[in-house]
Amino acid sequence: MVTITQQATADFTAEIVAEIVATLDRQRQFFATGQTRDLDFRIAQLTKLKRAIQERQGAIVAAVQQDLGRPEYEAYFELAALTEIDGALKNLKTWAKPRRAPLLIDQWPGKAWIEPQPLGVALIIGPWNYPISLAISPLVGAIAAGNCAIVKPSEVAPASSAVVAQLIRDTFDPEFVAVFEGDATTSQALLACKFDHIFFTGGTKIGRVVMEAAAKNLTPVTLELGGKSPCFVTADANLAIAAKRIAWGKFLNAGQTCIAPDYLLVDRAIAPALLEGLKGAIAEFYGSDPASSADYGRIINERQFDRLVSLLDSGRPLVGGQHNRGDRYIAPTILTEVAADSPVMADEIFGPILPVILYDNLDQAIAQVNSRPKPLALYVFSEDKTTQRYLLDRTSSGGACINETIMHVGCPSLPFGGVGDSGIGSYHGKASFDTFSHHRSVLKKATWLDLDWRYAPYGNKVATIKKLLGMG
């Protein structure tokens, strides 16, 4: 027997599904008109999106500050989609051109090429940590490639979700780009439908759910996930620079960044100097009381706060450890005396806690990294080119930086994505266009010549085929 509550939930789900199905039908009908294939149309839509973001920059910054307590400076990172749009507007006509492909002699006379085609209707599911930029940036690629799209912003960042929804509704006809807000019920209803591509940004656990749902419809996916991104600091590193860049990358957005350095692997010989440098960088960035700093953010909600606080007992706080649930504040924290099997080392931290593990042998440190799922990012601080190459060659990660953290995400020329548990596929710049395109191979043959080497009866043509195959 269905209870009233269950019935209400079922009715609500049915209502959402009906609206989604109707929107999908309209988008498929619009896509079938061929209008999205026109480059001028795509350019016009990208230009509209750029203007809409620019006009709402104040609302965007305010929403992110409300959801995450982020400093104004860091809140402006949510406008990163503007760079993606500028790149697409500049390069779209080049990206969309068919690319000639060479032919072997047995295909003469003819020509071949590869032409990018839009996939159809894409679903984009955004995360809460960068709730506006990571919902809009994939949309840039979907539009540039000529697709229709449905965007689902994260309900965990409600103010940002509302801004995304209003921006899309004010800018696009829903038969081209639509938006659905809501909780997991809405996401489940969307994932139950047939899309031509699903782009998801979030955690590995939910990524598996998305992939499982997509598999039922044989829908291709791009999964931008995360993982425990390690940071090596070797004996020859520039420690002053390393300390500042590590501290910035880790405590940006209060550690709620998918490519934040998750833990440090530090040569024991230089550990005291590095730790002093990290303490100094934290004090330089946030003062003696980060809780009162205008430049330090907050944890997204109490659930995440409680999870992070439970990890503080995994080591000895060299710096930080203070927390305030009412303010969702956790101080920038460096943990020492951390065991490899402690709770803080089990999963991605996604918060302002930085465990430090010392090593005496670099190969042993590499083995620790390789014993875990492949991370989204890997960081190496070393002045020695041989050591840099050694670490890159003996590890695997979605992306990597040498003597830097985080900043590779801001290079449109570098495809951004994970490997293994940290993700499937990539985007940014041309990679975004490629992600939302099917690259169709086309062979065109002339009819003025038609040699009979391939036709039956074969008779004595074995020598001919062997020659074509390079066998004689």
The tens digit of pLDDT for each residue in 20-66 reads 999 999 999 999 999 999 999 999 999 999 999 999 999 999 999 99
Domain count, the chain: 2
Residue 89 lies in a domain: yes
pLDDT in tens, 302-361: 999 999 999 999 999 999 999 999 999 999 999 999 999 999 999 999 999 999 999 999
Q: Is residue 213 part of a domain?
A: yes
Structural domain contains residue 86: yes
Please check whether residues 299 and 173 belong to one and the same domain: no
Share of the chain above pLDDT 90, in %: 91
* Domain annotation covers residue 28: yes
> Do 242 and 127 belong together in one domain?
no
pTM: 0.94
State pLDDT tens for residues 246-295.
999 999 999 999 999 999 999 999 999 999 999 999 999 999 999 999 99
User: Same domain for 257 and 391?
Assistant: yes
Q: Indicate whether 43 and 162 sit together in one domain.
A: yes
| Domain around 111 | 4-225+426-439
Q: Is residue 382 part of a domain?
A: yes
Percent of the chain with pLDDT over 70: 97
pLDDT mean over 460-466: 85
Catalytic one among 74, 78, 84, 224? 224
398 lies in a domain?
yes
Claim to verify: residue 104 and residue 179 sit in the same structural domain: yes
Q: What is the pLDDT of residues 150-164, one digit of tens each?
A: 999 999 999 999 999
Residues 212 and 291 in one domain: no
Q: Are residues 30 and 179 in the same domain?
A: yes
Residue 214: pLDDT band by 50, 70, 90 thresholds?
Answer: very high
Residue 373 sits in the same domain as residue 395: yes
CATH number at residue 111: 3.40.605.10
* Within-domain flag for 446: no
- Residue 266's CATH number: 3.40.309.10
Q: Is 348 a catalytic residue?
A: no
3-state DSSP of the chain? CCCHHHHHHHHHHHHHHHHHHHHHHHHHHHHHCCHHHCHHHHHHHHHHHHHHHHHCHHHHHHHHHHHHCCCHHHHHHHHHHHHHHHHHHHHHHHHCCCEEECCCHHHCCEEEEEEEEECCEEEEECCCCCCCHHHHHHHHHHHHCCCEEEEECCCCCHHHHHHHHHHHHHHCCCCCEEECCCCHHHHHHHHCCCCCEEEEECCHHHHHHHHHHHHHCCCCEEEECCCCCEEEECCCCCHHHHHHHHHHHHHHHHHCCCCCCCEEEEEHHHHHHHHHHHHHHHHHHHCCCHHHCCCCCCCCCHHHHHHHHCCHHHCEEEECCCEEHHHCEECCEEEECCCCCCHHHCCCCCCCEEEEEEECCHHHHHHHHHCCCCCCEEEEECCCHHHHHHHHHCCCCCEEEECCCCHHHHCCCCCEECCHHHEECEECCHHHHHHCEEEEEEEEECCCCCCCCCCCCCCCCHHHHHHHCCCC
Q: In this predicted model, what pLDDT tens digit does every residue of 346-405 receive, in sequence order?
A: 999 999 999 999 999 999 999 999 999 999 999 999 999 999 999 999 999 999 999 999
The pLDDT assigned to 105 comes to 86
The catalytically annotated residue of 148, 193, 231, 258 is 258
Q: Is residue 448 part of a domain?
A: no
Catalytic status, residue 19 = no
> In this structure, are 249 and 191 located in the same domain?
no
pLDDT bracket for residue 464 (50, 70, 90): confident
Are 239 and 217 part of one and the same domain?
no
- Does residue 257 sit in the same domain as residue 211? no
Together in a domain, 409 and 393: yes
